[in-house]
Amino acid sequence: MKLRAENLSLTAQGRAILDGVSLDIPTGVSFGLIGPNGSGKSTLLRLLAGLEPRAQGHVMLDDTRLRDLPRREIARRIALVEQQADTGDALSAREVVELGRTPWLAALQPFGPEDHHIVDQTLAAVGMTELAARHWSTLSGGERQRLQIARALAQRPQVLLLDEPTNHLDIHHQLALLRLVSRLQVTVVMALHDLNQALECDLLGVMSGGRLIACGPPATVLTPERLRQIFRIRSTSLRDPSDDAQILRFHCLEDER
């Protein structure tokens, strides 16, 4: 499913948090969002999910305006994993994932075999099958993050919005998650902090001060000059001898004066 943003803006407390962001993300592409803290990545993801009624501009899903779709229809197409999610409810891990079926079930319709199957499958996909009976409060940050991703997958979305999905994950689960996401046949937009992980995306967008200042394939976007400007770092590009893949190494500018 194609995702397009036209001139998205959001002002809060007299400050432009998002300022005229336009995007065009083709079907099935993985789109990485990078930018310093507070540059508006999370806000942009919330707007793309249609969760900000005060926003200006449009989000288009294929040829439909997000605003013209009922909430439930949006939730069947777009799933969002926010940066932090917490609950005081004594939910089991499985019950968290079951929430993902909400948009597919009528008010009084019970869970069907298909729903149970999808929940089993997504729990397995994030390696949480063993922990399905555990309570939310007893899970680690990484386990919670994986559950939220499983919940989003259980929505069977065509667009997956992930806000720093590798946060809290150990290195194995980071790689497993990125591999899982790259194999999905859906459009993925994710905010990332690890620029080497961002290199693996099909397209990258760079956020700074609420504006999208660059957008394109990673090689053209992640130039040393731009990294210096935006992140205030010096970067060197290396090659992995085993497969000749590009790797970035970073140095603090302050150390070099």
Partner 1 sequence: MTESAIPVGRASRRLLIPRVAMGLGLLLAAVLAGVVIGETPLPPGQVANVLAHKLFGASLLVDPIDAGIIWNYRLPRTLVAAGCGTALALSGLVLQTLVRNALADPYLLGVSAGASTGAVAVTIMGLGAGAIGISAGAFMGAAMAFGLVATLARAAGGGSAQLVLAGIAGSQLFNALTSFFIAKSANAEQARGIMFWLLGNLSGVRWPDVTLALPAACMGLVACLWHARSMDAFSFGAASAASLGVSVRRVTLVLLGAVTLMTAIMVSLVGAIGFVGLVVPHAMRFIAGTRHRALIPATALAGAVFMIAADITSRMMIPGQVVPIGVVTALVGAPGFALIMIRNRGRR
Ligand X SMILES: Nc1ncnc2c1ncn2[C@@H]1O[C@H](COP(=O)(O)OP(=O)(O)O)[C@@H](O)[C@H]1O
Which of 98, 143, 163, 164 binds partner 1 (CB under 8 A)? It is 98
Kindly report the CA angle at 76 between 73 and 82, in degrees rounded to 5? 110
Q: For the chain, where are the alpha helices, taking DSSP H only? A: 41-48, 71-77, 93-98, 113-125, 141-154, 171-183, 195-198, 218-221, 224-231
Decide: is 83 part of the binding site for partner 1 (CB under 8 A): no
CA-nearest of 101, 100, 155, 147 to 124 is: 147
Decide: is 197 part of the binding site for ligand X (CB under 6 A): no
**Residue 205 touches which of ligand X, Mg ion, partner 1, none (Cβ within 5-8 Å per kind):** none
Q: Distances in Å between the alpha carbon of 220 and those of 60, 157, 239?
A: 26, 30, 17
Decide: is 193 part of the binding site for partner 1 (CB under 8 A): no
* CB nearer partner 1, residue 181 or residue 214: 181
CB of 81 to ligand X, least distance (A): 13
Question: Using CA atoms, how far apart are residues 92 and 138, in angstroms rounded to an integer?
Answer: 9
> 136 by DSSP, 3-state: which?
helix
Which of 132, 169, 192, 230 binds partner 1 (CB under 8 A)? It is 132
Which of 10, 93, 128, 199 binds partner 1 (CB under 8 A)? It is 93
Which of 13, 88, 241, 257 binds partner 1 (CB under 8 A)? It is 88
Burial of 120 (0-12, 13-18, 19+ CB in 10 A): middle
Question: Using CA atoms, how far apart are residues 144 and 8, in angstroms rounded to an integer?
Answer: 31
CB of 59 to partner 1, least distance (A): 14
Which of 89, 114, 130, 170 binds partner 1 (CB under 8 A)? It is 89
What are 159's strand-pairing partners? 78, 187
How many residues touch Mg ion (CB under 5 A)? 2
> Which residues between 21 and 50 bind ligand X (CB under 6 A)?
35, 37-43
Decide: is 13 part of the binding site for partner 1 (CB under 8 A): no
Decide: is 208 part of the binding site for Mg ion (CB under 5 A): no
Question: Using CA atoms, how far apart are residues 136 and 94, in angstroms rounded to an integer?
Answer: 9
The binding site for Mg ion (CB under 5 A) comprises 42, 83
Binding site for partner 1 (CB under 8 A): 46, 49, 51, 70-76, 78-80, 82, 85-96, 98-100, 102-103, 105, 107-108, 110-111, 116, 132-135, 137, 155
